[in-house]
């Protein structure tokens, strides 16, 4: 624990330096520096609070031990024993919390995300399930006060979505949504099934961190931009103006289509945001494949072809296969109540990383 204490003391000294600099009047004249300091202070604050709590718990333990040594009154000794036990429990809890907070942080965790949902096996039923997943994520985002922006959607005419691409804007969106990448499977009796047989369908979810302009440089000569009239549902502007935009990136063959805004300029901006994110994600995948051991240790960033979850409607059960855990509140989950499920996955991911850290 001495090495950890030394490290925590260094971090605490750095945190105090940040606070001191923030108190200087001239820092307000440099907005970029002010933002950077505020961000770093915010990121370090939970760790500093946990460390201060640990220091207090250690002092409580020392005080209780001293009282036990010097006190002869049995009632006071009993109180000291209870205080000693409580102080040790708090220390164990805070030490574990600090270990988690000291884990290497994913630099993308604070980013917005781009989510792509595609219907898989199962025809119309798979498209209906894809639409339900989209609504589930929108409701989850609303509950966390994140903002959703639809980029493109390909509907099947009966309320299903063959494919939908959207963005979720909100601090920490990637830190939670990254665990949703993979194949989602649904088991239920479709409304169109007269025999009451349970069908199995799938949808694939891909979650990418939104790339900033400085993350990815795009050469204009590598891009072809086509404009066209939007198709499908979208109100009076559909098929009346050339507002839809299609980007083709020659080096990778990636094609982006954006049609949800009335303005061609806004659709173009969305398309470029999505293209940057796709190129950034390709680079992340390349880096992760070079670090195969790290990739295998991460619960939330596995292969997108991996079946991660099953939604069984007849049994009102959702099973996450990565952590082998069942949740018996499928209606709540489909209505966006994902926190308990994601908290369990994040806890398992952190435990796996702590295990690897301890064995290395």
Calpha distance 235→243 (Å, rounded): 13
Q: How does pLDDT run across 19-50, given as a tens digit for each residue? A: 999 999 888 888 889 988 998 898 899 999 99
Q: How does pLDDT run across 227-265, given as a tens digit for each residue? A: 887 765 544 444 456 788 999 999 999 999 888 888 889
* Per-residue pLDDT at 235: 42
* Per-residue pLDDT at 28: 86
* Per-residue pLDDT at 120: 92
Write out the CATH class of domain 2-101: mainly alpha
Least confident of 29-33, 192-196, 307-311, 318-322: 192-196
Name the residue with higher pLDDT: 360 or 152.
152
- CATH 3.40.50.150 correct for 220-286: no
Cα–Cα distances in angstroms (integers) from residue 218 to residues 149, 165, 212, 280, in the given order: 23, 21, 11, 11
Q: Is 164 left (phi over 0), alpha (psi -120 to 50) or beta?
A: beta
* Per-residue pLDDT at 237: 40
Mean pLDDT of the chain: 87
Q: Is 21 left (phi over 0), alpha (psi -120 to 50) or beta?
A: alpha
Which CATH architecture fits 113-212+291-355?
2-Layer Sandwich (3.30)
* Per-residue pLDDT at 191: 72
Least confident of 2-6, 81-85, 115-119, 253-257: 2-6
What residues does each domain of the chain span?
2-101, 113-212+291-355, 220-286
Residue 158 has pLDDT above 70, yes or no: yes
DSSP 316: T
* Per-residue pLDDT at 339: 96
* Per-residue pLDDT at 359: 63
């Amino acid at each position: 624990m001495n090495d950890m204490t030394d490290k925590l003391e260094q971090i605490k000294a750095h945190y105090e330096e940040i606070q001191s600099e923030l108190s200087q009047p001239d820092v307000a004249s440099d907005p970029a520096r002010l933002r950077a300091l505020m961000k770093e202070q915010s990121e370090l604050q939970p760790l500093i609070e946990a460390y201060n709590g640990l220091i207090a718990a250690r002092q409580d333990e020392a005080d209780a031990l001293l009282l036990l040594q010097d006190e002869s009154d049995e009632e006071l000794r009993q109180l000291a024993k209870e205080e000693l036990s409580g102080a040790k429990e708090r220390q164990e809890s805070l030490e574990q919390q600090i270990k988690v907070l000291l884990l290497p942080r994913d630099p993308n965790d604070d980013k917005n995300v781009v989510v792509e949902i595609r219907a898989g096996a199962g025809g119309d039923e798979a498209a209906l399930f894809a639409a339900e997943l989209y609504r589930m994520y929108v409701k989850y985002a609303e509950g966390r006060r994140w903002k959703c922006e639809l980029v493109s959607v390909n509907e099947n005419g009966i309320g299903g979505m063959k494919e939908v691409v959207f963005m979720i804007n909100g601090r920490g969106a990637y830190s939670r949504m990254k665990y949703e990448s993979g194949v989602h499977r649904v088991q239920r009796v479709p409304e169109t099934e007269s025999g009451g047989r349970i069908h199995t369908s799938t949808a694939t979810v891909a979650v990418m961190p939104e790339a900033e302009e400085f993350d990815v440089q795009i050469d204009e000569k590598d891009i072809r931009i086509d404009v066209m009239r939007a198709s499908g549902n979208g109100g009076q502007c559909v098929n009346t103006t050339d507002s839809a935009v299609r980007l083709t990136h020659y080096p990778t063959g990636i094609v982006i289509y954006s049609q949800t805004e009335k303005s061609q300029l806004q659709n173009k901006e969305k398309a470029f945001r999505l293209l940057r994110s796709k190129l950034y994600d390709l680079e992340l995948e390349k880096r992760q494949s070079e670090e195969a051991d790290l990739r295998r240790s991460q619960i939330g960033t596995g292969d997108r072809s991996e079946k991660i979850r099953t939604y069984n409607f007849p049994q009102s059960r959702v099973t996450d296969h990565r952590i082998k855990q069942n949740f018996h509140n499928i209606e709540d989950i489909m209505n966006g109540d994902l926190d308990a499920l994601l908290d369990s996955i994040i806890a398992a991911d952190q435990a796996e990383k702590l295990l690897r850290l301890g064995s290395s």
